[in-house]
Amino acid sequence: MLFTLRLTVKCLQCPLRGLSSRGLTQVQQYSNIAHRRPVRIVNEEEILEKIEEAKGPNEFLDVEKRKPLKVRPKKNKPKKKIVVTEADTRLREDGLLNFSELKENDPLLMKLMMSVRSRKTRDRNSRIILEGHRLITDALHAGSIPEVVVFSRVADALKLPLPDVGIKLYKTPYRAIQTWTTLTTSPGLMAFFKTPDTESIKPSPEALPLTIVCDNVREPGNLGAILRACAAVGCKQLILVKGCVDLWDAKVLRSAAGAHFRVPIFGTRTWKEIRRMIDPSATVWVADNNALVTEEIEAESLDETKEELPDGIEGEVVSPQKDTTVPLEDYEAQDNLFKAVVDSAEFKNYRQRQYDANLAKKLISTIPIIPYYSTNYPNAENILIVGGESEGVSLEALALVHERNGVRLNIPMTNGVESLNTGMALGIIAFELKRQFSVKKTSECNDEIHLNE
């Protein structure tokens, strides 16, 4: 098109001004005619006689004049690994702290922080990070030994009860620590540990026969509060169902305040594994922190409907509001449904998980509910299942409760409050259980004293 325009302009500029419109049209169409493919070749036979067949696509190319392609060799630089040996001591020969200084943008510091940045990297490197004097001290008292300690002030590192050998110390500007910290204001002290084995922690001699099972707990602050309550009340063990938030998340560590090193914790377990871990004769409870138990519902349940609790459990039953979409009276259908849940596959797609979650919210109303203070907790093993605030308990948890004839524990609330924090609800129920055990133990001791007298 551009060639045609140029040719037209030249024709207009030529001295032959008497060019007709027909001639101008022929000139404009010249380029189209010239670029057409030929119909036939006149001397085709002569040309084909001189042509030889090529043995390959590059036979007639001048290979000598062609420059060979330059391929950059891959530089496999060996990755520097931080190796801690017995030669790495805490103090130098002159008695001063033995540390190395790192700049603000030092690659070693960046590598350390990236190794614990996400759950995937923490699991791959088997390394966690603890910030602050309190958390590091709790880990040291629990028997964990840090590999690397990063600090901005020497005085902070001297306060830690660190081992004499097998540790690397690095001093870096406070700006570098503030860049990588997850806190609003960093304490200027970090320690990198090998991921502790929380399953090998022995429960306290005064531990209660209580196992806490966390199901669908996705909020880090809630899991930290649950850990702290378990350590305070003295639970036997804590089990995290697969799908809960990471146990070593930074927010979980801060809100737990060192409870990771005081209670046996079993993380990322499936319900089939949990069934093998708990005692077959244990009593199963569900902490219901969303159900409202008002005086009207209590009066209606006591007058019109009277349900029976499972054997060995005492208390007054409060019937929940009935959901017309759930066949509450068809117990055989419920049994078949829960049996199918137990036998179902562990890995499910998104639609299956959504269907199970919606079904669990309906089926939870089929489980009897009582106030947490209106029953006598048995001295045998107790299993308390705690669900998340948004998701609640899963369908697999309800199947276990249905199989063991479990009961929901409700916390009555006033002033229009519809639900409690998961950690707060667990703390209320767990300390009520501890109070009853303490009262029974005191009464038993008094009876023995009277018998001896």
Domain boundaries, the chain: 91-194, 208-290+369-440
CATH architecture for segment(s) 208-290+369-440: 3-Layer(aba) Sandwich (3.40)
Assign 256 to helix, strand or coil: helix
Q: What is the chain's length?
A: 453
Calpha distance 117→170 (Å, rounded):
19
Q: Count Cβ atoms within 10 A of the Cβ of residue 444 and give its class: 0-12 exposed, 13-18 middle, 19 or more buried.
A: exposed
Could you tell me if residue 143 is left (phi over 0), alpha (psi between -120 and 50 degrees) or otherwise beta?
Answer: left
- Cβ neighbours, 10 Å, residue 436: 16
pLDDT at position 294 is: 38
Alpha helices, DSSP H, located in 126-270: 133-141, 154-158, 174-180, 220-233, 250-256
Are residues 393 and 223 in contact, defined by beta-carbon separation less than 8 angstroms? no
Q: Minimal CA–CA distance to 293: which of 413, 387, 205, 131?
A: 413
Which two three-digit tokens encode residue 346? 């562990």
Which two three-digit tokens encode residue 431? 């300390």
Which two three-digit tokens encode residue 180? 């990588």
Question: Which residue type does 118 have?
Answer: S
Beta pairing class for 146-151 and 189-194: antiparallel
pLDDT at position 304 is: 39
Contacts of 404 (CB under 8 A, 6+ apart): 282, 283, 284, 383
329-to-46, 120, 179 alpha-carbon distances in Å: 99, 46, 60
Q: Minimal CA–CA distance to 152: which of 115, 178, 183?
A: 178
Are residues 116 and 194 in contact, defined by beta-carbon separation less than 8 angstroms? no
Are residues 99 and 157 in contact, defined by beta-carbon separation less than 8 angstroms? yes
Are residues 127 and 148 in contact, defined by beta-carbon separation less than 8 angstroms? no
Calpha distance 196→212 (Å, rounded):
20
Calpha distance 5→316 (Å, rounded):
98
Beta pairing class for 237-241 and 265-269: parallel
Calpha distance 257→450 (Å, rounded):
43
Ramachandran angles phi, psi of 8, nearest 5° = -65, -40
Calpha distance 146→248 (Å, rounded):
15
Angle at 415 between CA 409 and CA 420, to 5 degrees: 40
pLDDT at position 9 is: 60
What CATH number matches the domain at 91-194, 1.10.10.10, 3.40.1380.10, 3.40.1130.10, 3.30.1330.30?
Answer: 3.30.1330.30
Q: 232: which strand partners?
A: none
147-to-91, 160, 183, 261 alpha-carbon distances in Å: 15, 14, 22, 18
Are residues 132 and 121 in contact, defined by beta-carbon separation less than 8 angstroms? no
Alpha helices, DSSP H, located in 98-148: 107-114, 119-125, 133-141
Per-residue pLDDT of the chain (453 residues; tens, 9 = 90+): 555 666 566 655 655 455 566 665 665 565 555 556 666 667 666 666 655 565 655 555 555 555 666 666 666 665 666 778 878 888 888 889 999 999 988 888 998 999 898 889 999 989 999 999 999 999 999 889 899 999 999 999 999 999 999 899 999 999 999 999 988 889 999 999 999 999 999 988 889 999 999 998 999 999 999 999 999 999 999 999 998 999 999 999 999 989 999 999 999 999 989 999 998 889 999 987 654 443 333 443 434 334 455 555 555 544 444 443 445 455 566 666 666 666 666 667 767 777 777 888 778 888 889 999 988 888 889 999 999 887 888 888 888 988 888 999 988 888 888 888 899 999 999 999 999 998 888 887 877 777 766
Q: Minimal CA–CA distance to 288: which of 359, 372, 208?
A: 372
